């Protein structure tokens, strides 16, 4: 128990220091002794278990059963049964291997977005992964931070913590630093302690880590993002249902085929083996694996492009995104604020320059009333803190003055922390002349708290805001002694000091990204806490605010009814001076209009909006841990252009999955059609059709189509996806004629394969079966090129997917080996083909390319 011990005693107990923290040697020893500040990880499913689980599929069981029965009834069939076993085992191994790789990729991405902690070590403030925190570490807590571990508070500046995850108490708890003189207390009453898994919602504090990892009061969020269970995405669930439906249909067809084979004189065993093999070949059992891998590869690619996707479902949602509500600062702009203008009542608006010493005192006050820092290390300046505040500190630094050098003159003793609803902060300093209060914030708010009339200052604020400057105001107040109550009640009767105007230039790439989004049917909306005129100026420059668009403030938004907003929101592209609840309302209103909304945010107050949005986008650099945990996507570069790049990837991934489904299902339908029609034709008197394809042939073709071209198709580059409108929210997966396309292309493959078989029957059954096998396998490899695009592929893009070319070449080589190597051809019951028969098979195999190209031409001509 540390709550009933003086803070000095707790620090001494851990041999730490409030100002300098632990030494690097102490940290190393403590990590060896206590390990990492993380949960005991849930054991991953071993590879061999994943491999064995692949055999629980009832169709696989039926196939193995057929092979076993075949060996028992006719021992001479052992070779074919052995090959079936090999193919089944290889399929299971491949599926387990792919699943393993997907899990590793996603696990690596989750770790990239793990929480961090701000600690002091060797006298230096640094940010480290929360798992590296050790007992005795001095750590800093800011509004919006996840508490990295349990700790005793040493200094509290109005700190409030949401401990609902731990205690169930919904209201934030006010934290103190004083000792509590009691022996036993419930966690909720230990107000000088902070606990892992809780969230700071207001103020700031300094604390010392008293326990880590599984020794914490809550041993469940040391690595919060890593404990999320993997879930199947809506798309994966939908495809599973499709596969199950196809499976039931195929079982019915297989039962019919079994009966037809018996009627045509085939033995029970052969008929049974053919039916079961047909079922396994027809059901796209690899579809779920293909989708998972394609999504995982896409997620990994997005991570390399500065967008960490926290859930696979978000990839699908990105493809439907139609509205992007973006914060201005740092996302649309460079987040490099620089003071360029100043205003004082007796000087008016002036350009900021260090040669102008008249404003030095004002800049000093602005810098003191901030939490920003500017440090020089290895001849390089490091800005620590909010960009607006570091701009003020840097302005002072340009005079050759550091904040630290003023500590002997201005001793900071208390503060009223910044709050987004008040839009200002106040800091108290002990000086030789008494207590000085500095209050900094939004000009309209601070000026309204000043005791003098400031019409000129308001006009100066408007003028600078019209120049797209971010403007801050400063007021002061003198006391002989510290006020008894330090809260927002002291922020009145201020004496006005002046204004500073800062510029945060737009990111160079954002303008093009917004134009690209517009061409893709995506509307960009700016939501900011800045002044309305500033927001409009930046939005107009970026192409967000155009003729006919409206711009309103949060106050004006409050005056609009929900019904009126539903009509008006389509024309509003800029929201200024907004509060967090406004963001949620904007998101919810767009969603009522069936739009898929992406929302950016970085603060703890943005979390509700990020959660409400279809795609919450947190800032990786300036974002709090709370906002990152609430988000679906984290932008590691805080850049709007990254969102558009992610949308493009999301659309491309979804398009590739549709191509995979088209390819796999049409190929499987083709196999079913071949066997089914052959069985039907076998009933015609005098027409001895026989079996077009043996079970081993179907399994082999299925293995090639599932393992080679399908994954290659998933690697296709997005084609003109940003020139298309967003996919409607509730659109069917088979919309746009995809279902019809799959069926007719499946019938086409089946008829072509059956044609090859019937042509070969003029020579012998062995030749016919070989021709059917070659035509089916090669035809599906050719068909994989058809699904590359909805438009003609007879152009330079036909060979732009090297993986598909590799898959085609390997597939062809395997077929050549099976036919021409005697050992393999005997195993597959195949025979060599004459040049005429071979050319017929090859010609028929390339026929799908011709037919589909004609169909595409007719479709787009119409």
Residues annotated as catalytic are 327
Q: Rounded to whole angstroms, how far apart are CA atoms 674 and 668?
A: 10
- Count each helix (H run) and each strand (E run) in the chain, helices first: 29, 24
CA contacts within 13 A on the Cβ side of 313:
12
Alpha-carbon distance values, 197 to 216, 600, 634 (Å): 10, 24, 20
The helix (run of H) or strand (run of E) holding residue 436 is: strand 434-441
Supply the DSSP symbol for 560. Answer: S
Supply the DSSP symbol for 97. Answer: H
Tell me the pairing of strands 550-553 and 572-576: parallel
Phi, psi of 488, rounded to the nearest 5 degrees: -70, -10
User: Two tokens at 757?
Assistant: 């078989």
Q: Are 121 and 17 in contact, with CB atoms under 8 Å apart? A: no
User: Two tokens at 421?
Assistant: 């609803």
Q: Rounded to whole angstroms, how far apart are CA atoms 748 and 735?
A: 21
Per-residue HEC secondary structure of 548-560 comes to CCEEEEHHHHHCC
Q: Rounded to whole angstroms, how far apart are CA atoms 134 and 130?
A: 9
383 three-state secondary structure:
strand
Q: Pseudo-torsion of CA 723, 725, 730, 731, nearest 10°?
A: -60
Q: Rounded to whole angstroms, how far apart are CA atoms 195 and 166?
A: 8
Q: Are 721 and 520 in contact, with CB atoms under 8 Å apart? A: yes
50 three-state secondary structure:
helix
Residue 242 CA from chain centroid, whole number: 26
From the number of C-beta atoms within 10 Å of its C-beta (0-12, 13-18, 19+), residue 249 rates as middle
- Give per-residue burial for 100-131: e unless 16+ CB within 10 Å, then b: bebbebbeebbeebbbbbbbbbeeeeeebbbb
The helix (run of H) or strand (run of E) holding residue 657 is: helix 640-681
Q: Rounded to whole angstroms, how far apart are CA atoms 502 and 388?
A: 8
Tell me which residue of 520, 738, 548, 484 sits closest to 648, measured CA to CA: 520
Please enumerate in sequence order all residues whose Cβ is within 8 A of that of 241, keeping only pairs 6 or more positions apart, or say none: none
Q: Rounded to whole angstroms, how far apart are CA atoms 95 and 86?
A: 14
Alpha-carbon distance values, 804 to 285, 289, 433 (Å): 21, 18, 78
Q: Are 196 and 221 in contact, with CB atoms under 8 Å apart? A: yes
Q: Are 312 and 699 in contact, with CB atoms under 8 Å apart? A: no
The helix (run of H) or strand (run of E) holding residue 193 is: strand 193-194
Please enumerate in sequence order all residues whose Cβ is within 8 A of that of 108, keeping only pairs 6 or more positions apart, or say none: 300
Tell me which residue of 447, 423, 456 sits closest to 577, measured CA to CA: 423
Q: Rounded to whole angstroms, how far apart are CA atoms 505 and 193?
A: 42
Going through 198-337 in order, the beta strands assigned E by DSSP cover 199-209, 307-309, 323-326
User: Two tokens at 19?
Assistant: 């100002």
Q: Are 295 and 318 in contact, with CB atoms under 8 Å apart? A: no
Tell me which residue of 596, 627, 623 sits closest to 611, measured CA to CA: 627
């Amino acid at each position: 128990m540390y709550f009933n011990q003086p803070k000095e005693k707790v620090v001494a107990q851990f041999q730490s220091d409030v100002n300098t923290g632990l030494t690097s040697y102490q940290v190393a020893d403590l990590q060896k002794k206590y390990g990492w500040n993380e949960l005991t990880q849930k054991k991953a499913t071993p590879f061999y278990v994943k491999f064995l689980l692949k055999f629980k599929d009832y169709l696989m069981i039926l196939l193995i059963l057929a092979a076993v029965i075949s060996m028992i009834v006719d021992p001479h069939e052992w070779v074919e049964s052995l090959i079936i076993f090999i193919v089944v085992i290889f399929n299971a191994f491949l599926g387990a291997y792919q699943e393993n790789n997907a899990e590793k990729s996603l696990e690596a991405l989750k770790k990239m977005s793990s929480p961090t902690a701000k600690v002091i070590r060797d006298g230096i403030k640094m940010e480290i992964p929360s798992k590296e925190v050790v007992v005795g570490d001095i750590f800093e807590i800011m509004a919006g931070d996840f508490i990295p571990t349990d700790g005793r508070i040493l200094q509290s500046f109005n700190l409030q913590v949401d401990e609902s995850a731990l205690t169930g108490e919904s209201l934030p708890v006010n934290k103190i630093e004083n000792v509590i003189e009691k022996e036993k207390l419930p966690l909720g009453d230990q107000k000088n302690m902070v606990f892992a898994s809780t969230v700071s919602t207001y103020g700031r504090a300094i604390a010392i880590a008293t326990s880590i990892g599984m020794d914490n009061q809550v041993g469940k969020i040391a690595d919060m993002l890593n404990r999320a269970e993997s879930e199947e995405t809506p798309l994966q669930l939908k495809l599973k249902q499709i596969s199950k439906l196809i499976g039931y249909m195929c079982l019915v067809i297989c039962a019919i085929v079994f009966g037809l084979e018996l009627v045509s004189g085939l033995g029970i065993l052969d008929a049974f083996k053919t039916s079961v093999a047909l079922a396994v070949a027809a059901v796209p059992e690899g579809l779920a694996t293909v989708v998972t891998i394609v999504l995982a590869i896409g997620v990994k690619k997005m991570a390399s492009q500065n967008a960490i996707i926290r859930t696979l479902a978000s990839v699908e949602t990105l493809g439907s995104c139609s509205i992007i509500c973006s914060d201005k600062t740092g996302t649309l702009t460079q987040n490099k604020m620089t003071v360029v203008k100043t205003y004082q009542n007796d000087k008016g608006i002036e350009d900021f320059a260090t040669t102008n010493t008249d404003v030095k005192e004002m800049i000093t006050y602005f810098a003191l009333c901030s939490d920003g820092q500017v440090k020089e290390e290895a001849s390089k300046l490091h800005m620590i803190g909010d960009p607006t505040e570091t701009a003020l500190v840097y302005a002072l630094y340009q005079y050759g003055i550091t904040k630290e050098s003023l500590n002997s003159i201005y001793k900071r003793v208390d503060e009223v922390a910044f709050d987004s609803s008040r839009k200002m902060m106040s800091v108290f300093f002990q000086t030789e002349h008494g207590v000085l209060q500095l209050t900094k914030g939004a000009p309209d708010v601070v000026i309204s708290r000043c005791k003098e009339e400031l019409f000129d200052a308001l006009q100066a604020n408007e003028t600078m805001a019209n120049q797209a400057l971010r403007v801050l105001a400063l007021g002061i107040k003198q006391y002989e002694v510290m006020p008894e109550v330090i809260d927002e009640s002291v922020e009145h009767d201020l004496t006005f000091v002046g204004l500073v105007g800062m510029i945060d230039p737009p990111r160079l790439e954002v303008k093009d990204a917004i134009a690209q989004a517009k061409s893709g049917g995506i509307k960009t909306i700016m939501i900011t806490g800045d002044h309305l005129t500033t927001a409009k100026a930046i939005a107009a420059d970026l192409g967000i605010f155009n003729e006919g668009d409206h711009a309103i403030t949060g106050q004006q938004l409050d005056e609009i009814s929900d019904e009126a907003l539903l009509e008006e929101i389509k024309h509003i592209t800029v929201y200024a001076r907004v509060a967090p609840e406004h963001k949620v309302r904007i998101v919810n209103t767009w969603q009522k209009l069936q739009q898929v909304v992406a929302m950016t945010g970085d603060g703890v107050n943005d979390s509700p909006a990020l959660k409400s949005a279809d795609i919450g986008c947190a800032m990786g650099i300036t974002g709090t841990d709370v906002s990152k945990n609430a988000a679906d996507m984290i932008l590691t570069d805080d850049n709007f252009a990254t969102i558009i790049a992610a949308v493009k990837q999301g659309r491309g991934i979804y398009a590739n999955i549709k191509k995979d489904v088209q390819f796999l299902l049409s190929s499987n339908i083709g196999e079913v059609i071949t066997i089914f029609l052959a069985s039907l034709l076998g009933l015609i008197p005098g027409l001895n059709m026989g079996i077009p394809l043996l079970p081993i042939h179907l399994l082999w073709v299925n293995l090639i189509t599932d393992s080679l071209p399908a994954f290659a198709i998933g690697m296709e580059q997005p084609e003109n996806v940003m020139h298309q409108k967003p996919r409607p929210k509730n659109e069917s997966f088979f919309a746009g004629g995809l279902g019809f396309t799959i069926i007719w292309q499946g019938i086409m493959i089946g008829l072509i394969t059956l044609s090859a078989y019937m042509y070969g029957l003029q020579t012998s059954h062995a030749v016919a079966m070989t021709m059917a096998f070659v035509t089916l396998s090669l035809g599906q490899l050719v068909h994989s090129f058809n699904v590359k695009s909805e438009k003609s592929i007879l152009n330079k893009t036909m060979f732009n997917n090297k993986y598909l070319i590799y898959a085609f070449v390997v597939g062809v080589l395997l077929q050549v080996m099976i036919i021409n190597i005697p050992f393999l051809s005997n195993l597959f019951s195949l025979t060599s083909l004459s040049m005429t028969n071979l050319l017929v098979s090859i010609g028929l195999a390339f026929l799908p390319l011709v037919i589909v190209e004609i169909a595409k031409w007719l479709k787009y001509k119409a």
